[in-house]
Amino acid sequence: METQPGRKFLLELRCTCFLLIIIFTVSGVWALEMSTGKIPFVEAVNGSDVLVLCTYVSCIGIKDLYFKWEFNNNGTMQKVIDGTIPTDNVDPVNTVIYRDRVDFVGLSKTNNLSMMIWNVTFEDAGEYTCFGKNPKEKGKNHSAIFTLYVVDELRVVDNTLTIIIVSCVGGFIALLVIFMLLKNFTLFVLAKLEEKNKECLVSSSGIDNTENGLSGTKTTPKATPKKA
């Protein structure tokens, strides 16, 4: 039998585990999340304009959300933009841009912290970190990385293999359709021939029975010659 202290210890252990589960679940749901999109990179031509995407979401809302963009210059993080969003649906304040050819194009109403880089150069290529800190979460930091590749010209994708695969698949499907049509046509012709053969057999059987005078058939009696 369990003693009273043992039961108390098990009860406290269960309560502690339950509270930990609730804390981890709630923190996972309420935490601020930063995102640079489903495809967090882009390949841009030298001299073009590039939108560097970043959005955020928080189920508990924000208050004095601090955000910034940083560029990883060979291991040294250089600040590109920073600012503060007082609360939900309020435009950022105290936004500062630290690099040329860069504009902040985000809107708090759409939880957008994106920036535009005009006339990109090869020096602009690299990793950009979108950072956010929501005081409601007691100082937790969140970030997401966007990678920019700068090239002389966009690569031409060789679709030869794709065309070959599509052609093979299309040809196989066409052959399969032709085979099914021929199969159905053959079965139709055979069914018609079988039906015709049955009709011929029935007709032949009726003629033979009539000629042989079998029971069930009618014959015309010959007339009796008259005596002179």
For residues 81 and 98, what is the distance between their CA atoms, to the nearest angstrom? Answer: 6
Confidence of residue 17 (pLDDT cuts 50, 70, 90): very low
Residue 120 CA: distances (Å) to CA of 48, 56, 117: 6, 25, 6
pLDDT exceeds 50 at position 227: yes
Q: Which two tokens stand for residue 105?
A: 């194009």
CATH topology of domain 30-151: Immunoglobulin-like (2.60.40)
**How do residues 140-150 score in pLDDT, each as one tens digit?**
889 999 999 99
Answer whether residue 178 shows pLDDT above 50: yes
pLDDT, greater one: 4 or 122: 122
Q: What is the mean pLDDT of residues 15-30?
A: 44
Per-residue pLDDT band for 13 (boundaries 50, 70, 90) equals very low
Has residue 186 got a pLDDT over 90? Answer: no
pLDDT-based confidence at residue 155 (cuts at 50, 70, 90): low
Distances 176 to 4, 164, 182, 186 between C-alpha atoms, Å: 77, 18, 10, 15
Tokens of 219: 């014959």
The predicted-structure confidence for 200-209, as pLDDT tens digits, reads as follows 766 666 555 5
Of 38-52, 110-124, 153-167, which gets the smallest average pLDDT? 153-167
In three state form, how does the secondary structure of the chain look? CCCHHHHHHHHHHHHHHHHHHHHHHHHHHHCCEEECCCCCEEEEECCCCEEECCEEECCCCCEEEEEEEEEEECCEEEEEEEEEEEECCCCCEEEEECCCCEEECCCHHHCECCEEECCCCHHHCEEEEEEEECHHHCCCEEEEEEEEEEECCCCCCCCHHHHHHHHHHHHHHHHHHHHHHHHHHHHHHHHHHHHHHHHHHHHHHHHHHHHHCCCCCCCCCCCCCCCC
For residue 144, what pLDDT is reported? 96
Q: What is the pTM of this model?
A: 0.58
The per-residue pLDDT for range 25-82, each reduced to its tens digit, is 444 445 789 999 999 999 999 999 999 999 999 888 899 999 999 999 999 999 999 9
Q: CA 79 to CA 41: how far, in whole Å?
A: 19
pLDDT of residue 21: 39
pLDDT band at 18 (very low <50, low <70, confident <90, very high): very low
Q: Pick the residue with more confidence: 49 or 14? A: 49
Q: Please state the rounded mean pLDDT for residues 78-94.
A: 93
